[in-house]
A and B are shown apart, each in its own frame.
Chain A
C-alpha cells in the first residue's frame, strides 16, 4: 500500500511538472508527464478516465527502467516484457485461459485494462489504438505473482485528436493478430529524358563484387508472427537487419503441398516438384518393399542422392567448393559439403548441447554455433543455416506460433545476432547478402482457443473402417484385426497434407507399380467384392460414414487431388464441388494451366459449366474477380503459373492451380539411372483446424501433443517468410508483388554475380528488392 501511495504521489507530481509541455501537432496528453507502474503490484490506477474508441497512446518513457522479476537481477525486464524466461507455473493475467508456457504475449510486459473488471490488453513498450472501453485506465504487469518483484515501468499516456489514427514507425496495431500494413516505399523517379545518357545508370541489380550470401532458413516461421514480435521489440536483430535494413517480400508462397522436404527442395533447386521429384517425406519403395522415411537416420542420404541422379542442380552444386552448411533437411555426402563437416558438426553439436540426445532439442543453437565456424571461413561464400526448432516446437505446442513457440522464435533472433556479429568480426558483413526464408507457414492457434488443431486419424477412420486394410505410416504399421498381412496401403506423412498410396484396382492386388488414376480409384474394389469411389471416400468419409454431405461444415478434409490423365488432375471437395486442372505446353514450351470447376465428374462425360461454388472459391472471391475482370471468361482459358499467381495472390488459396497440377507430373529424365519420383494415388489436404495424425500412436511411449501444422493448401500454411537485406537492397521496403519460393535460388545467383537466365530454373530473380529496380 505504501508503494502504491508513493507511486501515485510521484505520478501526480510528475504529471504536474510536465503540464504544458506539448506542441499543438502532437497528441494532447491527458495528464502530461510520466506514470510509474510498480512491478510488485498487479494493477495500479492511472487516475485517468478514457472514452471508448478514443485514440490512446501509452508508451514506455524511460526504456532504461527495469522490473526485476522475483527481485533477481538475472530476470530484469522492460515494459516490452520477455519471451526468454518464464518463472511462473500459473497462467499469466493477459491470457488466463492458457498454460503459462503457451502464451502469445510476452511475460512481465506492461498491460492495461479499462475499469477494475475490464479485460486486460497488451501494452508492451508502446500501445497505440482506440480505447477498448470507457472508464478508468489501469496499468499493471503481466505477472501472476508480482509480489516479489522490484523496480517499476515508466510510461507516458496521451490521447489523440479525433480522426483517423496514422500509426507511426514501430507502432503496433492494437495488439491484433495482423501486423500494421507497410506502405511500399515510393519508387525513385525515372531518369529524365533530358538527362545525358552518359550519366544515366543502367537500372537493375548491382550486387557487390565478391559477395557472400547467408540464407537463414527458419523452418515454418510465419511472416506475420515474426513481424509482430519485431514490432513489440522482441526481435531486435531481425528488426535491424531485415525490417529496417532490408526488404520484406510479403506475398511469397511456397509450393503444394507445403511440406518441409518438398518446399526445401524447391528452395535449393529453384524448381517445382515436376522437375526435382521430391514429393513426399515418406513413401513405400516398391522395389524393396521398405518404407522410406526421408528425415530418419537410415534414409537421410536418400533424397539428395535421388535428386542428384535426376541431374538436378542444387545450391551446393552451383556453388561447389564455396558452399557451407550444417545439418539440412537433406544433403548429399560430399567432401565439399558434408562429409568432413558431419564430423565437425557433431563435435560442435555435442559441445553446444552438452550431450548428444539434447542436440535435436537445441538444434538452433547447434546450427548457429557451427554457422559461426562457417562464417569464419573465407572459402565459404554461400551459407545455408537451417534453424528447425520453430517448426518442431510449433507442432507440439497447442497454439503454435501464437503460443509457446514464441520463445523459440525470440531465440532465433539471438542466433541471427550471433551470425551477424561473427561476420562483422571477420569484416565480411558489408559484402554479405542475408536472406531469411521459411519453407512454409503454419496453421493453428492464430484465432485463440477455437483454432487449436484436432487430429483426424486417416489410418483408422478410413483405411481400417472402410477399406479393412492394414496401413503403414511414418509412425508404425497399423494392423486391421482380421485383415491378411499382405493387404497393405501407405500414408506418407502426418501433417496438413498426406499422400495416400493404394494398391491398384483392388485392396489385395499389392500392385504399387504406378499410382492409380481417377478412373481406377472411382471404381475401387474391396475385399468383399464391393466397389467404392476411393476419392470420394477419402475426401468425404469418416469411420461413421459420409459426413460432409450431412451438412457439417466442420470437416477435417479440405479436398483431395487425384490424377485424371497425364495432363489433368481432379480437385475433389465433394461430388458437387470439383475442379479439373489441365496443363498444356505453350508455343515457347512453358506450361499453361486451365482451372475448370465441374460437378459429378466422370471421365468421358461432358460436365455442365459451374459459375459459382468452385472448390477453391475463386469464382466467388472479390479479390480474384478484381484481378482478372470477367472471372468466368478468364478461367475458361489457359494461363501460365505467373498469371495464376497474380490472379490468386489475395485469395484464400494463393498459387495453388499450377503447383497442384505440377505435383502430379514428372517432367524430368526417365531412364534406368534416374529414379522416378514416388507418387501417391491421392493427395489429401487438411481443412482449417485439423491435421492428419493418428489419435493413438503406438510407436512411442511419450507421444507429444498436437500443435499448429503445415502442408495445407490455404494461405496460412503457404505464405512463407522471405526477408532480404544487403548492399544495394532497399531498406525498410515491403515488396507486395507476388513471388514464389522457387524465386529464392535465382535471386541468390544474381547476388553472386551470375546471370540466372539460362540456368534452367523455374523461378525468376526477385528484382523489386533492389534499390536500382529495372
Chain B
C-alpha cells in the first residue's frame, strides 16, 4: 500500500538545494563535535585559606582543596551554549539571513532592511478599513507566517508547508486553526443577515461548544509540546552537567599526579 502511494510521487525532479542538506547537517555535526571538545577547557581554582579564631584564643587556618572548574557559562564554547546554538540554527529564518548579508554590505549600524520592509508592509495593510475580507486575508498571512520560514527547511516548506520539518509547523497548525475558526465565524456572521432571526446564521449556542472544544484541544497540544521541549532541554543540560563533572574529576586526577 505504501509502495503504491510512493510510486506516483508528484516530485519529478529533486529540489536543487535538497542534495546539499545532508552536507550542511554533517558540517554542523562536525562543528558541534569540535566545539564540544573546545568546551572541555578547565580552570583549577585554589580557594584562599580561611583564618578563623579558635576557642582558646588562637588562630586556625582552614585550607580548601583545589577545585577543577569545567563549566563556563560565559564562554561561547561551553557545551550548554553549543547545544543551544546548534538547536538555534534550526530557527534562523530566511529574512534574517538576507538581512545579515545586506547589513554586511550597507555601512553604518544594522538596518535589517528586509525585516523592516516586511513590518512596513504589515503596518500599511493594517491601515486598510477594518472589515471582514481584510481581517480574513490578514489573518491568513499572519497564521502562515511565511516571513518566518527557516533557512534550513526552505525546500521542504516550499514543497510541503505543513510538514513536520517546516518552521514551527506545530504553531502554524494552531494559528491556522484559529484562522479557520475566525473565518467561519465571519462567514457565519455575514450569513446571519440573510436569515430572519437575530444574530449569526448558526446560533452561538451551537457554535460556542465547538469553539471551546477546539480551543481546549489547541491548548492541550501546545502545553504538551512546550512541556516535552522543556523536559528534553533540562534533561540534556543535566547530561552535560554530569559530563562536565566527570571531566573535572579526570582533570583533577591528572592535576594531582602532576603536583605529586
Contacts and interface: CB of A to CB of B under 8 A. Distances in A.
Interface of A: 73-74, 297-298, 301, 333, 335, 338-340, 342-344, 346-347, 350-351, 354-357, 372, 376, 422, 425-427, 460-461, 464-466, 480-481, 528, 530, 543-545, 695-696, 698-702, 704
A344 B72 CA distance: 28
Given A339-B226, A344-B171, A425-B123, A465 B85 contact: no
Contacts of A351: 91-93, 95-96
A372 B119 contact: yes
B105 interface: no
A333 B62 contact: no
Which DSSP category, helix, strand, loop or mixed, fits chain B's interface? mixed
Nearest to A424: B123
Interface stretch (B6-14, B45-53, B206-214): B45-53
A699 B69 contact: yes
Given A74-B108, A700-B73, 5 more contacts: A340-B171, A461-B50, A465-B50, A480-B62, A702-B73
Given A335-B219, A700-B69, A701-B43, A298 B62 contact: no
B88 interface: yes
A297 B234 contact: yes
Given A465-B52, A543-B51, A696 B74 contact: no
A343 B168 contact: yes
Interface of B: 41-43, 45, 47-48, 50-53, 55, 62-65, 67, 69-76, 81, 84-85, 87-89, 91-93, 95-96, 100, 107-109, 119, 122-123, 126-127, 148, 167-168, 170-171, 174, 218-219, 222-223, 225-227, 230, 233-234, 237
Contacts of A344: 168, 171
Contacts of B170: 343
B143 to A, nearest CB: 12
A350 B91 contact: yes
A342 B171 CA distance: 10
B168 A543 contact: no
Contacts, number: 129
Contacts of B168: 343-344, 347
A355 B88 contact: yes
B47 A696 contact: yes
B41 A701 contact: yes
B10 to A, nearest CB: 29
B26 to A, nearest CB: 20
Contacts of A355: 85, 88-89
Nearest to B238: A298
Contacts of A530: 55
Contacts of A702: 72-75
A530 B64 CA distance: 24
B223 A339 contact: yes
B226 A333 contact: yes
A473 to B, nearest CB: 14
A481 B52 contact: no
B125 to A, nearest CB: 10
Contacts of A338: 226
A333 B63 CA distance: 46
A343 B168 CA distance: 8
A700 B71 contact: yes
Contacts of B167: 347
Contacts of B50: 460-461, 464-465, 543
B129 to A, nearest CB: 12
A344 B142 CA distance: 12
B207 to A, nearest CB: 18
A340 B55 CA distance: 61
A351 B147 CA distance: 12
A335 B53 contact: no
A350 B88 contact: yes
18 contacts: A73-B107, A297-B237, A335-B222, A340-B171, A340-B174, A344-B171, A346-B91, A354-B100, A355-B88, A356-B91, A357-B84, A425-B123, A481-B64, A545-B53, A700-B69, A700-B73, A701-B43, A701-B70
